[in-house]
Amino acid sequence: MSFVRYKAIVEEGDVVIVYLTHESMFPLTLEAGRIFQTRFGALRHSDIIGKRFGSKILCGGGRGYVYALHPTPELWTLTLPHRTQIVYTTDISMLTLQLDLKPGSVVVESGTGSGSVSHAVIRTIAPTGHLYTFEFHQQRAEKAREEFSDHGLSNLVTVTHRNVCTDGFGLSDVADAVFLDLPSPWEAVASAKLALKKAGGRLCSFSPCVEQIQRTCDKLRSHGFCDITTIECLLRTFDVRTIALPEPDLGQPDSCVQTRHEGSETAQSFTFKSAVPPKDMPGHTGFLTFATLYPQVETS
């Protein structure tokens, strides 16, 4: 199983994302003989094993169906077991670009949390890069290590149980990029600088509060980081809806007015499809602060 490359056929032991609706998805590790209960009834793991990823699978004896999707970092972020607050795909896509991550990049991250960012970073830096991820909560570190192994990612990631604010990363001159998602990221800036390659690199810190950013920016500046920028990413999605409107009362027929009738039964109303923004939009998640460390040259 791999979150890095697609495969065609589902095998026992694979993770599939069971898709019921856009709002209802579950990760499932397949074991022949087991049953997963859905709102459409029982879904037998054996009915998924051997099918192509993306297949429609009947459940509840034909009462409904689900799709068996291939796991990706984006779907994992939507379905993973939450052990902490997590960073979502909108922020992850921005940090991936701004940190200039690519195959072969070496990345240092803390904290690991629920592994949402880690999975996306690993996919981007594979097959030759490496993620060093640090977590000071022992069970979270162990669980993350276990998940990476189950997902076939162990060779691309090293999980270390450590308090990086007091004990640093213990790495020097190795990283192309550092990502911090910590309550007090400013306490990790000195060791992040040490971990970055002497040839230079990028740092990103994710924080919900502006006070955290102010302290982090001060620390970044005093440690020689340049090009310090903070942004907030807000995503606006649209729902496609079928809208029914009453026929407008235009008085006498007017040859200039044309009304589209799409499947409407009567002359009193007409329907059309439209994309509308949802009433409630997800708001603030956090601020992303980016900074560059330029090559460190010895001056005499």
Residue 42 makes CB contacts below 8 A (sequence gap 6+) with 35, 36, 59, 60, 61
**By rule CB under 6 A, what string of x and - marks binding of each residue 208-247 to ligand SAM?**
----------------------------------------
Name which position in 55, 98, 163, 292 contacts ligand SAM (CB under 6 A). Answer: 163
Is residue 164 a contact point for ligand SAM (CB under 6 A)?
yes
Parallel, antiparallel, or unpaired: how do β-strands 106-110 and 130-135 relate? Answer: parallel
Size of interface with ligand SAM, in residues (CB under 6 A):
22
Is residue 160 a contact point for ligand SAM (CB under 6 A)?
no
**Radius of gyration of the chain measured on its C-alpha atoms:** 25
Residue 163 burial class via C-beta count within 10 angstroms: exposed 0-12, middle 13-18, buried 19 and up = middle
**By rule CB under 6 A, what string of x and - marks binding of each residue 79-98 to ligand SAM?**
-----xxxx-----------
Is residue 178 a contact point for ligand SAM (CB under 6 A)?
no
Q: Per the annotation, does 247 bind a ligand? A: no
Beta-carbon neighbour count of residue 290 at 10 Å?
19
Joined together, the tokens standing for residue 282 give 């997800």
Segment 135 to 154, residues that bind ligand SAM, using CB under 6 A? 135-137, 140
Residue nearest to ligand SAM (CB): 111
Joined together, the tokens standing for residue 6 give 């697609």
What residue has token string 């990049």?
Answer: 105
List of residues contacting ligand SAM (CB under 6 A)? 84-87, 110-111, 113-117, 134-137, 140, 163-165, 181-183
